[in-house]
Every structure is written in structure tokens, then in C-alpha cells.
Structure 1
Amino acid sequence: MHSNSPETTRLYSNLHTGQEYVDDLLHCGNERRIYRVLRLTLPTFYTLWDWCLEHTQLRSSKTRRLSIEEKLVMFLWTMNEGASNRVVQERFFHSVETVSRCFHEVLDALLQLHREIVRLPDESTP
């Protein structure tokens, strides 16, 4: 009888992938649901996606098959829910390392956006 060691046993069943959740959310047609989950409207989400694509290094991951959309949704969902890494793993079916890496990739991209749109007052402003 063959038993799987903890190292070789799959962590998730893959009945629903994170990308399937993202596709369902973004194509559900329910603006209230999208706003409730992302705290952004769908047009605003795609404006952010376009900006990230044009102005940052945020890209889809070929090895893990993570789209930019999934990375953005994971980040926004995490921030909206105040979710821990472990909760995000469970929702999107990715490892600790993948969730952490994606979070920081999106955070770095959004910090670039911050530098572009936030203008601090000059020194002559009282």
C-alpha cells in the first residue's frame, strides 16, 4: 500500500482555481459584486490593469500561469478583506511563496503609480 508523504500530497484539489474565481468575478456582470470584492468598479479595475501593463514590470507569470488580472484581484481582495497569506492561499489555491511574491509585485507596481499621481506641495507652500 502506497501512502503519500506530506511533501508529495497536493495541498489543494484544484476543483476551482484562482483564475477561475477571477474569471467568474470579472465576467459575472454584477457591478455590485465586483465593487464589493475589489472596492473598484470594473472599468477602474481595467484602467489599473492597463496602467500596470504600460508603466510597470508587473507581468503574467508563465511558470505559475498567473495572469496580471489574478495578481491584481488577489491583492485587492487581500486588502479589502484584511486577509492573511494563509486565507489568500485557500481562496486562490497558491502557495505561501506565490501569494507573497504576487502581493509584493502588485505593491511595487502601485507604489510606482503613487509616485506618478501624488504630487507633494513644493517648499514654498505654507
Structure 2
Amino acid sequence: MKMEGSEGKKANVLVVEDEWWIAEMITGILENAGYCVVGPADSVQTGLALIENHQIDAALLDVNLGTAMSYPIADALIARDVPMLLTTGYHYKDLPRQYHGVPLLGKPTTPQRILAALTQLLKAD
């Protein structure tokens, strides 16, 4: 399993999730698998600040952050060529067209699906 980022160290994975217990679960799964978690961010503002201040190798992005959508974060990641997974209960038909090529990880999910999808994402990078 490739867990390394571009500099040969463990991959830094941004986690954006507004439900604290889901964020904690994802953080634990990733850390136990050897990834370095950046965040978690529970808002667009926090997510954007983390992108500005940290090296990000990949991201798991909840689409709906309560009162806001995470599209500005997705756009910032795309502009930096950072691969991401959209974690959501939405289907592609519910998302803006520009995100239809971004891998979608449906909710609810399992630790195995999260790790498999992230491994695929980093291999493709």
C-alpha cells in the first residue's frame, strides 16, 4: 500500500468533515494505517486555511458541511493538483458538473472502503 507523499514520507491527508464523531473515526482509521492527518476541518474557512498552511498529498472531503458546501475547498485542491475523494450521500447527478470526475465515496462507508479508495487515489497521483 502506498502511503507516501511526493517527498517519500507518509502522505498528508486532509480530512474535511463537519460531524465530529465521523471526523474522529476517519482520523483514527487513517492514523492507524500510517497516514498523517491534516485537520480535521469542520468548515470551509478551516479547510482553506489548512490547505494554505500545510503540504497536502490527498484529501477526503465531505460535500455538505452543515450550512455550506465544501466546493471552495475542492476548487482549491483542484487548483493545486491534489487528489481527493468526495465522501457524501449525494450522487454525481446531485453535484456540479465540474466534480463528476472526482472519485466519490458514498456514505455510509467502512474503514476498508476508505483505505482502499485512498490507496487507489494515491497510486493514480
TM-score, normalized by length of structure 1? 0.28
Could you say which structure has the higher helix fraction? 1
TM-score normalized with structure 2 length: 0.28
More strand by share: 2
**Greater gyration radius:** 1
